């Protein structure tokens, strides 16, 4: 009789251990943050504790325009998040990089996402869904505008070459290539914040006149 009681008790404990399972999920399907927030708070929920789960951040792609990159838009984090008995909600903080450059993701609705995947949940707890959620960073810098500074309405050939000055409203690095037949061969460069007052210059010279063959 005593042996039967012990066997029944062990079987009952075994069933209880395996039945004490739950799920870990994200508090939101995605997390939207502004780069000026300084940190992204990624919320995780569990229906059973104690439990722990591994996490990391992940760059989705090498495309720097549409997606956020570690070291450019945020700082990579990884580790293990532990829930003590009775805890149901905890957060992981991901540091953001607040720069002064305009960043826009035209194919992502203006935000640049990176991934936050989960793995290796303990105590038989399942990870909900595909185990990952996007964190989308939105830029707070103004869209750069480049325009012509005031130039003379007319200019004689004797005053050539002429200097055309362009102005920019915010920090932007790169090269501008003016279009039109008058601008053939011209190039304009802005070199980040090192260009004073957001200005750069390009020069234009009159095109060489084609030589005519003597008439017979």
> Which is more confident, 93 or 141?
93
List, for residues 116-158, the tens digit of each pLDDT value. 999 999 999 999 999 999 999 998 766 666 666 676 666 666 7
Q: Report which of residues 35 and 12 the model is more confident about.
A: 35
Sign of the Cα pseudo-torsion (99, 76, 82, 24, in order):
positive
pLDDT band, residue 63 (cuts 50/70/90): confident
Predicted confidence band at 85 (pLDDT cuts at 50, 70, 90)? very high
The proportion of the chain whose per-residue pLDDT surpasses 90, expressed as a percent, equals 42
- pLDDT at residue 106 in the model: 56
- For each of the domains in the chain, give its residue range(s) and CATH number, in order of start: 22-138 (2.60.40.2030), 146-202 (no CATH)
pTM value surpassing 0.85: no
């Amino acid at each position: 009789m005593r042996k039967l009681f012990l066997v029944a008790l062990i079987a009952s404990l075994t069933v209880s251990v395996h039945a004490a399972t739950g799920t870990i999920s994200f508090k939101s399907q995605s997390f939207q943050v502004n780069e000026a927030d300084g940190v992204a708070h990624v919320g995780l929920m569990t229906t059973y504790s104690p439990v722990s789960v591994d996490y990391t951040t992940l760059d989705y792609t090498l495309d720097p325009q549409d997606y956020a990159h570690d070291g450019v838009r945020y700082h990579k984090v990884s580790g293990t998040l532990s829930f003590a008995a009775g805890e149901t909600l905890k957060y992981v903080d991901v540091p953001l990089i607040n720069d002064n450059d305009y960043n826009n993701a035209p194919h992502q609705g203006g935000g640049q996402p990176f991934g936050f995947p989960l793995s290796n949940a303990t105590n038989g707890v399942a990870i909900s869904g595909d185990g990952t959620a996007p964190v989308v960073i939105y830029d707070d810098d103004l869209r750069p505008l480049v325009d012509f500074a005031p130039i003379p309405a007319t200019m004689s050939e004797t005053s050539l070459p002429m200097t055309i000055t362009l102005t920019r409203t915010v920090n932007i690095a790169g090269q501008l290539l003016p279009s039109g037949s008058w601008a053939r061969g011209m190039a304009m460069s802005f070199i980040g914040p090192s260009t004073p007052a957001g200005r750069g210059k390009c020069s234009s010279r009159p095109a060489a006149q084609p030589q005519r063959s003597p008439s017979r």
